[in-house]
A and B are shown apart, each in its own frame.
Chain A
Amino acid sequence: MHLDGRDATGDSPAARDLAMVFQNYALYPRHTAYENIASPLRARRCSPSEIAAAVERMSSLLHIERLLQRRPAQLSGGEMQRVALARALVRQPRAFLMDEPLTNLDLKLRVEMRTELTRIHRSLGATFIYVTNDQVEALSMADQVAVLKEGKVQQVGTPAEVYERPANQWVAGFVGSPPIGLLACHAEGDRLVGEGWTLPRPRWTTAEDGRPLLLGLRAEDLSVEQRGDASLPGELYGLEPLGDRTVVDVRVGTQILKVKARTTVTGTPGERLLVTVDLDRAHLFDADTGLALSEAGR
């Protein structure tokens, strides 16, 4: 493990100079919120007046002034989360580690704190290393995202890169909601041929003929309402109204594709329809290795 280019593997946690927010907050149960927030400063032997000033600054930033004399057992989940955050933010460490800090909050609070955390992050300008399995958090809060699977880094990039140009089939399936649809196919001349369908071969792909491929199509790059020159024949499998939009499930061959549509869309299951594909935004993966094909021509 390197910090600022220096090997810190053997350093004590104190010497590494990091601050962390735990998933379960790990607030000291016998200490008040004030003492919890003051703990990092006390450990580093700051003067009482410095401590008081710093705790006051943090508690007003996080709106927890009224909670300072309470113990963790008397705090709600959101309040504990704020206190834990204050304990991490009260000093200026090299970096902040956040281990799924929002996972234990209810949905409404999570959305609220997501905005709040992003605001604090931007205003501090410090490095946050934020672990999450919520892709919305990853995409909305991060400057850089590292996608990990079973401890191995799959892709590192900006949220846009990870979303728009997934390095492999697994990243494509993991990031994005509803999940990307993947159709087996192969190239034949200037066509992509799949199970009961063909599409024009995208200009940018260089895959040789006959190599097994997977065509990745995101729900927003498909349409059942517009007509285009590239489309897939399928049949309606189901409708999922989500309030602001409706997700249309279309069966193409044996696969189900999810298509985003306006809420006005109607249909009966089994009905035959055409799905228009925005081929410029489609992804191709090698079916054997799962890796994305070079998109150099894009």
Chain B
Amino acid sequence: MALSVDEAVSTGPARDHAPPSRRFGGRGRAVLEVALLTVLAVVMLFPVLWMIETSIKENRDVYAIPAKFFDFKVTMEHFKDVFVASGGGRSTLSASFLNSVLVAGVSTALATVLGVPAAWAYSRFSVKAKKDQLFFILSTRFMPPVVVVIPIFLMYRQVGLIDTKLGLILIYTAFNVPFTIWMMKGFVDEVPAEYEDAAMLDGYTRLQAFWRFTLPLLLPGIAATAVFALIFSWNEFVFAIFLTSSDDVRTAPPAIAGLIGGTTVDWGLVAAASVVFALPVLVFAYLVRKHLVAGVTLGAVRR
């Protein structure tokens, strides 16, 4: 995740260095750019668009051939089905969403609570073999998480964490802590240590100095880091499907995947559930977008 951010940041200047094209005039070039971007946007956004359309179509329009793009009756039935069971009462999907909120929220909070002080310590103190430790922490993210799913499964079975929300929370926290430490260390490095020195001379303890003077300056960074951790936990599929089985523990990704596979697939319900699943992350990212941009660029831009 961190890597993709770096790439996204660094492509800008690299493109600026490309020799300006002389063949197209300013206008022709602009038209070409818009055309290419449109193609890209259509290719990227069509599945999203189709998901949204399917979620508000009646079932017979969903299966209509040729497919109906505009001329269909809008219905909210599928969204109702996401939350309300057919016999009344809460649906199993809505329980999955609550599980997702709980698991993603708690694991992100835990990773932040553990990772931020660790990052501060690695940034401020002379720790024995600091570089080796940091490399070790980072190295846990070198492999794809899938690699360890079998060992984790066996270990969890031994200690009774299979099919529990606590098990998911712990594994997501374990994946998010290294990421949090590395990302936050960069932010802590940016805050001069003199603020804490000054605070300690003022008469505060080291922890008070961190809490009152450094932490407030780290909030944008913490917000950015937490969003990434939250998105990881929210979207995680492999561990969720391996480690959980019962409906009241499952998170949304395996629950939505579980809708596909019967003799008939209720595509409207799948699409509606997917929309509901995608929304919170979008909304959250939108709300903290200022912090997110500040967080991503802070290390490079501000001094």
| Residues of chain A whose beta carbon lies under 8 Å from any beta carbon of chain B | 12-14, 18-20, 22, 24, 26-30, 39-40, 42-44, 87
Given A13-B200, A39-B199, A39-B202, CB of A22 within 8 Å of CB of B216? no
B213 CB-CB contact with A under 8 Å: yes
Give the residue of A14, A19, A29 whose beta carbon is less than 8 angstroms from that of B204: A14
Are the C-beta atoms of A20 and B198 separated by less than 8 Å?
yes
Given A12-B205, A14-B205, A29-B217, CB of A24 within 8 Å of CB of B192? yes
Are the C-beta atoms of B198 and A28 separated by less than 8 Å?
yes
Against A, the Cβ 8 Å flags (1 = close, 0 = not) of B203-216 are: 11100100001001
Q: Roughly how many angstroms separate A18 CA and B194 CA in the complex, as a whole number?
A: 15
Give residues 19-35 of B contacting A (CB, 8 Å). none
B150 CB-CB contact with A under 8 Å: no
Q: Roughly how many angstroms separate A277 CA and B208 CA in the complex, as a whole number?
A: 62
Are the C-beta atoms of B201 and A19 separated by less than 8 Å?
yes
Are the C-beta atoms of A43 and B203 separated by less than 8 Å?
yes
Chain A residues within an 8 Å CB radius of B247: none
Are the C-beta atoms of A13 and B201 separated by less than 8 Å?
yes
Chain B residues within an 8 Å CB radius of A30: 216-217
Q: Roughly how many angstroms separate A29 CA and B303 CA in the complex, as a whole number?
A: 13
**Min CB gap A99→B, angstroms:** 9
Give the residue of A22, A29, A43 whose beta carbon is less than 8 angstroms from that of B202: A43
Are the C-beta atoms of A26 and B192 separated by less than 8 Å?
yes
**Min CB gap A272→B, angstroms:** 55
Give the residue of B192, B194, B198, B203 whose beta carbon is less than 8 angstroms from that of A14: B203
B197 CB-CB contact with A under 8 Å: yes
**Min CB gap B203→A, angstroms:** 3
Give residues 102-154 of B contacting A (CB, 8 Å). none
Given A28-B195, A30-B217, CB of A20 within 8 Å of CB of B201? yes
Interface centre among A18, A27, A39 (most CB of B within 10 A): A39
| Residues of chain B whose beta carbon lies under 8 Å from any beta carbon of chain A | 192, 194-195, 197-205, 208, 213, 216-217
**Min CB gap A262→B, angstroms:** 47
Chain B residues within an 8 Å CB radius of A43: 199, 202-204, 208
Q: Roughly how many angstroms separate A29 CA and B213 CA in the complex, as a whole number?
A: 9
Closest residue on chain B to residue A84 by CB atoms: B198
Given A28-B213, A29-B217, A30-B217, CB of A12 within 8 Å of CB of B200? yes
Are the C-beta atoms of A26 and B216 separated by less than 8 Å?
no
Q: Roughly how many angstroms separate A22 CA and B200 CA in the complex, as a whole number?
A: 13
16 additional contacts, CB 8 Å, given A14-B201, A14-B205? A14-B202, A14-B204, A20-B197, A20-B198, A22-B194, A22-B197, A24-B192, A26-B195, A26-B198, A28-B199, A30-B217, A39-B199, A42-B202, A43-B202, A43-B208, A87-B198
Interface centre among B195, B203, B204 (most CB of A within 10 A): B203
Q: Roughly how many angstroms separate A201 CA and B143 CA in the complex, as a whole number?
A: 80
**Min CB gap A128→B, angstroms:** 15
Are the C-beta atoms of B198 and A24 separated by less than 8 Å?
no
Give the number of residue pairs across the A-B interface with Cβ within 8 Å. Answer: 49
Give the residue of A24, A28, A40 whose beta carbon is less than 8 angstroms from that of B203: A40
17 contacts between A and B (CB under 8 A): A12-B200, A14-B201, A14-B204, A20-B198, A20-B201, A24-B192, A24-B194, A28-B198, A30-B217, A39-B199, A39-B202, A40-B201, A43-B199, A43-B202, A43-B203, A43-B204, A87-B202
Chain B residues within an 8 Å CB radius of A18: 201
Q: Roughly how many angstroms separate A144 CA and B104 CA in the complex, as a whole number?
A: 62
**Min CB gap B219→A, angstroms:** 10
Closest residue on chain B to residue A93 by CB atoms: B201
Chain B residues within an 8 Å CB radius of A24: 192, 194
Closest residue on chain B to residue A23 by CB atoms: B194
Q: Roughly how many angstroms separate A26 CA and B194 CA in the complex, as a whole number?
A: 6
Are the C-beta atoms of A14 and B200 separated by less than 8 Å?
yes
Closest residue on chain B to residue A88 by CB atoms: B201
Closest residue on chain A to residue B200 by CB atoms: A13
Q: Roughly how many angstroms separate A39 CA and B202 CA in the complex, as a whole number?
A: 6
Chain A residues within an 8 Å CB radius of B216: 30
Chain B residues within an 8 Å CB radius of A19: 201
Are the C-beta atoms of A40 and B202 separated by less than 8 Å?
yes
Q: Roughly how many angstroms separate A29 CA and B202 CA in the complex, as a whole number?
A: 16
Chain B residues within an 8 Å CB radius of A39: 199, 202
Q: Roughly how many angstroms separate A44 CA and B201 CA in the complex, as a whole number?
A: 11
Q: Roughly how many angstroms separate A42 CA and B199 CA in the complex, as a whole number?
A: 11
Give the residue of B198, B204, B205 whose beta carbon is less than 8 angstroms from that of A22: B198
Chain A residues within an 8 Å CB radius of B208: 43
Closest residue on chain B to residue A43 by CB atoms: B203
**Min CB gap A71→B, angstroms:** 13
Q: Roughly how many angstroms separate A40 CA and B202 CA in the complex, as a whole number?
A: 4
Closest residue on chain B to residue A44 by CB atoms: B203
Q: Roughly how many angstroms separate A30 CA and B191 CA in the complex, as a whole number?
A: 12
Chain A residues within an 8 Å CB radius of B202: 14, 39-40, 42-43, 87
Give the residue of B197, B204, B205 whose beta carbon is less than 8 angstroms from that of A26: B197
Q: Roughly how many angstroms separate A14 CA and B216 CA in the complex, as a whole number?
A: 22
Nearest 4 Cβ contacts at the A-B interface: A43-B203, A26-B194, A13-B200, A40-B202
Q: Roughly how many angstroms separate A97 CA and B195 CA in the complex, as a whole number?
A: 16
Q: Roughly how many angstroms separate A20 CA and B200 CA in the complex, as a whole number?
A: 10
Q: Roughly how many angstroms separate A13 CA and B207 CA in the complex, as a whole number?
A: 13
Closest residue on chain B to residue A27 by CB atoms: B198
**Min CB gap B288→A, angstroms:** 19
**Min CB gap A152→B, angstroms:** 23
Q: Roughly how many angstroms separate A256 CA and B178 CA in the complex, as a whole number?
A: 61
